[in-house]
Chains A and B, each alone.
Chain A
Amino acid sequence: MNNLLIPNPKEAESIHIIREVAAQFERPVLLFSGGKDSITLVRLAQKAFYPAKIPFPLLHVDTGHNFPETIAFRDKLVEELGLELIVRNVQDSIDQGKVREERGRYSSRNSLQTTTLLDAIEEFKFDACIGGARRDEEKARAKERVFSVRDDFGQWDEKNQRPELFDMLNGKIHNGQNVRCFPISNWTELDVWEYIKTEDIEIPSIYFAHEREVFLRDGMIWTANEHVFREAHEEVLVKMVRFRTVGDMTCTAAVFSEAVSLEDVVGEIRDSSISERGARIDDKRSEAAMEKRKKVGYF
């Protein structure tokens, strides 16, 4: 038996937030992408409710362009922890004519996810969506609340946010509204990696260096396969790479890396000079790209 618990303040805060979500809402859901941040959320949720099971399901909005390693990992995690998983597909939204596939050189299904997500929220009447967004990721995220109220259209009004004082969270909403909840708001990328290492949390293999067919464009390393638009002159190379974030293949660039263990990865992040979202192609579109997507209901 351990003598005295000295809390890790960021972990304790996150557990507190997750318990608030479970207590304040009728139908919460944890948005799960298979990335390191949502995997960290699952561990924190386990800690929040142990020895009971996590009292809400996971929702994965699948673009159909996910890395197969991520999907395999997702299914294994759900199986091992006895979690409930809901999957909704962007392909279905396309087939139903609700969204249209982008075309051309930078086409991606990333922004199409918003429609599928909002439809799933409506279908299941979710009133709280727990996400792994962090304030250090991007400038517009730095002003996001822990509990962020969205209207019936999933929109974020940055000028009209509820102030959050001390650790008191106000999740009171009207029917039809929902709240996006961000338990690891105050974590940095390095915090997440160090936590994964300390806690010995399993993560998908694509976070570690591996050989992959890639091509280079705009100074970034793109995955070469049938889902990613590639010009004839863009040559396919086989390189040792890894991913720092795991989104859809069409919007996640790799980095050259030799990091094969968590220790290597943490070392690499500490020394790193390119920010995590620097490898997100979706943000490169414009300086205000993230803010614009958030306003229309993106995570």
Chain B
Amino acid sequence: MSENRKLIKIATAGSVDDGKSTLIGRLLYDTKSLTTDKIEAIERSSKQRGYDYLDFSLATDGLVAEREQGITIDVAHIYFNTDKTNFIVADTPGHVEYTRNMVTGASTSQVAIILIDARKGVIEQTYRHFFISNLLRISHVVVAVNKMDLVNYDEEVYLKIKADFDALVAKSDFTEDQITFIPVSALKGENIARKSEEMPWYVGNTLLDHLEVLEPADLEPSSVARFPVQYVIRPKTEAWHDFRGFSGMLYGGNLKVGDEVTLLPSMNTSTIKSIHYFDQEIQEAAPGSSIAITLDTEVDLSRGDMLVKSSSVPRSEKQLTATICQVNSKPLKVGGKYILQHGVNRVLAKVDQIESRIHTDFTGTETADQLKLNDIGRVHFRLSKPIHFDTYKENKANGSFILIEEGEYDTVSVGFIE
């Protein structure tokens, strides 16, 4: 599959009227990812609504309810590619009520595009979007200053927005992100795939050129190997009589045959005997690999346990502190009990204390006795059993979890371990 193309995952954030759907529709159109029948459907709908331009937002607005309201209400995934790169866009709505959607979309993304309407400049929404991209530690942010056509492609307007955004950056604790500003008009296609002649004062890349030269490896901070056991493979056949393969996805760093490993929670040690990818035996696997590992000693290891290099063992504790984002309308309360899912491992968790609610506009914190939908706060938990974690800063996969409530089993919160 696309063996020569890299994969870049992008989350988009913008307010309802910033033209986000138009931007994505334009990217699809300019990369020839919209097919004849989709273009025809857009032409038909645009005409029916009496527009005198092609409404590209119709390419992405999926569900009937939101077509009627004219806004996006959920996370939609959109795919396009160029010769060099496969892109996945998580299109997340920017309305104030939908913090959870941007957190969700950003959790699987390496790049955030924050849209700003050139006429409105940096607004409260922008603060919130940038706050979330920082919370998720998205290492690469593109600030697309859109609707430049409506401000006469004026450089002064662009520079003012850039200065305001830089002031916002100064307020953030997360300093490892790279931020790029691009003035665009999604509607007219200026600086999207085509360099704008209307803005000769802008000397940088177009949005698409900029995204295309990103390297996935540079977007993921390097860390240490974590291998949560997902499923134990036991063929029980003549040919594979004694085979016990511990399967799962490898995060953070490489593992290779001969590595001395520590098994959690037992703290037993062993050595990697073989690594399997389908019918091939491999010497070493890179992060992101779905593999099966065998060990050279008989060990007791099952789903939810973890295999790590003995040289770098994570913390194992029954208490933890995390930043929580509430993603369900059922509030998080002190004393509440939840199923905590950390990777593929589940334990019970109890909310010991809600320390604070964090303002997403960088204005500090306040005390709170519960966290409601879209609230972000700092929370202390007690667990039924220890889990083996890193901080989110050290290792995203091993430093995050979700909370599942025990009634409907809804996913109610996401946590970033501190």
Inter-chain contact B231/A273, CB cutoff 8 Å: no
Inter-chain contact A198/B104, CB cutoff 8 Å: no
Given contacts A5-B289, A8-B1, A50-B276, contact A168 B282 (CB under 8 A): no
Q: For B81, what are the chain A residues with a Cβ–Cβ distance below 8 Å?
A: 188, 190
Inter-chain contact A23/B341, CB cutoff 8 Å: no
A173 to B406, CA, bound (A): 10
Best-surrounded residue of B2, B61, B245, B410 (most CB of chain A within 10 A) = B2
Nearest B residue (CB) for A14:
B290
Inter-chain contact B289/A142, CB cutoff 8 Å: no
Nearest B residue (CB) for A185:
B77
Q: Which of A61-69, A108-116, A156-164, A205-213 contacts B (4 or more CB under 8 A)?
A: A156-164
Nearest B residue (CB) for A284:
B37
A219 to B302, CA, bound (A): 56
A49 to B234, CA, bound (A): 9
- Confirm or deny: B151 has a beta carbon within 8 angstroms of a beta carbon on chain A: no
In the complex, which of the residues A49, A143, A274 contacts B37, with contact meaning CB atoms closer than 8 Å? A274
Q: Which of B62-70, B172-180, B186-194, B347-355 contacts A (4 or more CB under 8 A)?
A: B62-70
A166 to B37, CA, bound (A): 33
Inter-chain contact B2/A191, CB cutoff 8 Å: yes
In the complex, which of the residues A6, A10, A16, A186 contacts B249, with contact meaning CB atoms closer than 8 Å? A16
Inter-chain contact B230/A8, CB cutoff 8 Å: no
Encode B46-78 as 1/0 by CB contact (under 8 A) with A.
000000000000001111110000000111111
A163 to B92, CA, bound (A): 12
Inter-chain contact A5/B230, CB cutoff 8 Å: no
Q: For B38, what are the chain A residues with a Cβ–Cβ distance below 8 Å?
A: 275
- Confirm or deny: B240 has a beta carbon within 8 angstroms of a beta carbon on chain A: yes
Encode A10-49 as 1/0 by CB contact (under 8 A) with B.
1111011001101100000000000000000000001111
Interface positions of A from 242 to 299, Cβ below 8 Å from B: 272-275, 278, 287-288, 291
Inter-chain contact A139/B409, CB cutoff 8 Å: no
Q: For B64, what are the chain A residues with a Cβ–Cβ distance below 8 Å?
A: 288, 291
Inter-chain contact A170/B233, CB cutoff 8 Å: no
Given contacts A4-B282, A166-B396, A174-B409, contact A140 B62 (CB under 8 A): yes
- Confirm or deny: A96 has a beta carbon within 8 angstroms of a beta carbon on chain B: no
In the complex, which of the residues B35, B286, B414 contacts A278, with contact meaning CB atoms closer than 8 Å? B35
Encode B100-133 as 1/0 by CB contact (under 8 A) with A.
1101100110000000000000000000000000
Q: For A166, what are the chain B residues with a Cβ–Cβ distance below 8 Å?
A: 107-108, 396-397, 400
- Confirm or deny: B135 has a beta carbon within 8 angstroms of a beta carbon on chain A: no
Inter-chain contact A4/B286, CB cutoff 8 Å: yes
B residues contacting the other copy or chain, number (CB 8 A): 83
Inter-chain contact B344/A194, CB cutoff 8 Å: no
Inter-chain contact B286/A170, CB cutoff 8 Å: no
Given contacts A6-B286, A165-B400, contact A194 B240 (CB under 8 A): no
Inter-chain contact B277/A19, CB cutoff 8 Å: no
Q: For A11, what are the chain B residues with a Cβ–Cβ distance below 8 Å?
A: 1, 290
Inter-chain contact A191/B63, CB cutoff 8 Å: no
Inter-chain contact B36/A274, CB cutoff 8 Å: yes
Inter-chain contact A9/B7, CB cutoff 8 Å: yes
Q: For B343, what are the chain A residues with a Cβ–Cβ distance below 8 Å?
A: 168
A39 to B192, CA, bound (A): 37
Nearest A residue (CB) for B279:
A50
Inter-chain contact B88/A186, CB cutoff 8 Å: yes
- Confirm or deny: A53 has a beta carbon within 8 angstroms of a beta carbon on chain B: yes
In the complex, which of the residues B101, B108, B234, B344 contacts A20, with contact meaning CB atoms closer than 8 Å? B344
Main secondary structure of the interface of B (DSSP, over half): mixed
- Confirm or deny: A135 has a beta carbon within 8 angstroms of a beta carbon on chain B: yes
- Confirm or deny: B387 has a beta carbon within 8 angstroms of a beta carbon on chain A: no
A12 to B216, CA, bound (A): 15
A244 to B141, CA, bound (A): 38
Q: For B276, what are the chain A residues with a Cβ–Cβ distance below 8 Å?
A: 50-51
Nearest B residue (CB) for A3:
B283
Inter-chain contact A7/B289, CB cutoff 8 Å: yes
Q: For A8, what are the chain B residues with a Cβ–Cβ distance below 8 Å?
A: 1, 3
Nearest-neighbour CB distance to chain B for A37, whole angstroms, equals 13
Nearest-neighbour CB distance to chain B for A187, whole angstroms, equals 8
A46 to B233, CA, bound (A): 12
Q: For A159, what are the chain B residues with a Cβ–Cβ distance below 8 Å?
A: 65, 73-74
Given contacts A272-B35, A291-B63, contact A4 B284 (CB under 8 A): yes
A3 to B276, CA, bound (A): 12
A170 to B406, CA, bound (A): 12
Q: For B249, what are the chain A residues with a Cβ–Cβ distance below 8 Å?
A: 12, 16, 167
Inter-chain contact B62/A142, CB cutoff 8 Å: yes
- Confirm or deny: A232 has a beta carbon within 8 angstroms of a beta carbon on chain B: no
Inter-chain contact B108/A172, CB cutoff 8 Å: no
Given contacts A51-B237, A274-B36, A275-B38, contact A172 B77 (CB under 8 A): no
In the complex, which of the residues B37, B63, B100, B401 contacts A275, with contact meaning CB atoms closer than 8 Å? B37
Nearest A residue (CB) for B77:
A135
Inter-chain contact B290/A7, CB cutoff 8 Å: yes
Inter-chain contact B233/A52, CB cutoff 8 Å: yes
- Confirm or deny: B96 has a beta carbon within 8 angstroms of a beta carbon on chain A: no
Nearest A residue (CB) for B415:
A165
A291 to B77, CA, bound (A): 16
A12 to B73, CA, bound (A): 29
- Confirm or deny: A106 has a beta carbon within 8 angstroms of a beta carbon on chain B: no
- Please list 30 pairs of residues, one from A and one from B, whose beta carbons are closer than 8 Å in the complex, sorted by A's number: A2-B282, A5-B277, A5-B286, A7-B289, A7-B290, A9-B7, A12-B288, A20-B230, A23-B344, A46-B278, A47-B278, A52-B233, A52-B235, A53-B235, A139-B63, A140-B62, A142-B76, A143-B63, A143-B76, A163-B103, A163-B327, A164-B104, A167-B249, A168-B341, A168-B400, A170-B341, A172-B339, A172-B404, A273-B35, A287-B41
- Known pairs A4-B285, A51-B243, A142-B77. 18 more at Cβ < 8 A? A3-B283, A5-B291, A7-B290, A9-B288, A12-B290, A16-B230, A48-B247, A51-B239, A51-B240, A139-B62, A143-B76, A163-B328, A168-B401, A173-B409, A190-B81, A191-B1, A272-B35, A275-B37
A residues with CB within 8 A of B: 1-13, 15-16, 19-20, 22-23, 46-53, 135-136, 139-140, 142-143, 158-159, 161-168, 170, 172-174, 185-188, 190-192, 194-195, 198, 272-275, 278, 287-288, 291
Q: Nearest 5 pairs between A and B by C-beta? A: A172-B409, A15-B290, A139-B62, A195-B1, A275-B35
